[in-house]
Amino acid sequence: MTAQWQINPVDNAMQEKILNNINQKTKPLGALGQLETLALQIALIQKTNKLVITRPLMLVFAGDHGIADEGVSIAPSAVTQQMVLNFLAGGAAINCFCRSNDLPLKVIDAGIKFEIIPPPANLINQRIAAGTHNFSQQAAMTLAQAEQALQFGAQLAEREINNGSNLLAFGEMGIANSSSAAAILAALSNAPIANCVGLGTGINPEQLVKKITLVTKAVARITDKTPLNVIAEVGGFEIAQICGAMLATAKAGKMIVVDGFIVSAAALLAVQFNPKARDYMIFAHQSEEAGHQLMLSMLKAKPLLNLGLRLGEGTGAALVLPLIRAAISFYNDMATFESAGVTV
């Protein structure tokens, strides 16, 4: 762990006081379920009696993967660029969910295969390269590229936090990035590869067998399972930049909203760099992707939603923003038994 990733844990000494505040609200003990756990977490993060969300922001990182050349996805790499253009035009699911929840969205080119030229003004250019190498044949990227991707993500998060954001939600786009996330999970968990690899966007049984074979080959190559080396061997530029952004957000003591399988892979890596990053992570939903449940268990996470989502883009993270706002609202504004004159 480098000095850059030094993170202060939340102060659990405050937990009893916060729980007492929650328990005095006009409701039976525990009656608001996970919203109570969420309010507790936010209160521990913010260290204040009046919780607040300021300038919430969705960051969607896009990158391409050389493993896509093996036919492990339903679409070619060109679709990554097409979907980035769709995000920029406001036509994707993530755009709809961000609009419906008053959540601004920024899109980052972390290294898509087909660069958008001329670059649109609303696209943040943090390209490392035109996609990673095919990790079934060689390392996805160099250690220097992995470091650079982490730095780019961290610097972006720091800028947005300096501009007033205290909640950053993360999404992604990248054809074949479920292969990368599965390989990261397999490398860090030592679980059977078949438990880590899933259908992604809906591949057929033959493609699934091939995907498992290729991920198995790549993971067998990894002897150094430090997080930086795992990123270099089987990661993606978008996953690495999300990881760096999460670490910077945790270092700043702000809320991280984690989307599904791919973004959870970045979260898993961040926790490998510094376990204290976990304190700042709010897990949005359980994906339908095989392996996500294992990933969540490794992160000791109980996500807020299970809607059968398997799209990515940050869609689950956008959908939980109203729940986060609701948790803050009841914590701040719900009457206590004493203030309401209610006796039980």
What is the DSSP annotation of 273-319? Answer: H-GGGGGGEEE-B--SSTTHHHHHHHTT---SB-------TTHHHHH
Report residue 235 as tokens.
């990661």
* Cα separation, 190 vs 230, whole angstroms: 13
283 bridge partner residues? 258
The tokens for 205 are: 């049984």
Mind giving me the DSSP string for 216-231? HHHHHT----SHHHHH
CA-CA distance, 281 to 258, in Å (whole number)? 7
Tokens of residue 300, six digits: 């000791």
What's the order of all strands across the beta sheet hosting 57-63? 123-125, 105-111, 57-63, 167-173, 255-258, 281-283
The number of beta carbons lying within 10 Å of the beta carbon of residue 23 is 14
Enter the tokens of residue 273.
């760099």
Which member of 70, 172, 238, 313 is catalytic? 313
Of 51, 142, 116, 95, the C-alpha closest to 329 is 51
Taking residue 138's Cβ as centre, other Cβ atoms within 10 Å add up to 13
Residue 233 appears among annotated catalytic residues? no
Q: What whole-number distance in Å separates Cα of residue 212 and Cα of residue 192?
A: 10
Catalytic residue numbers?
Answer: 313
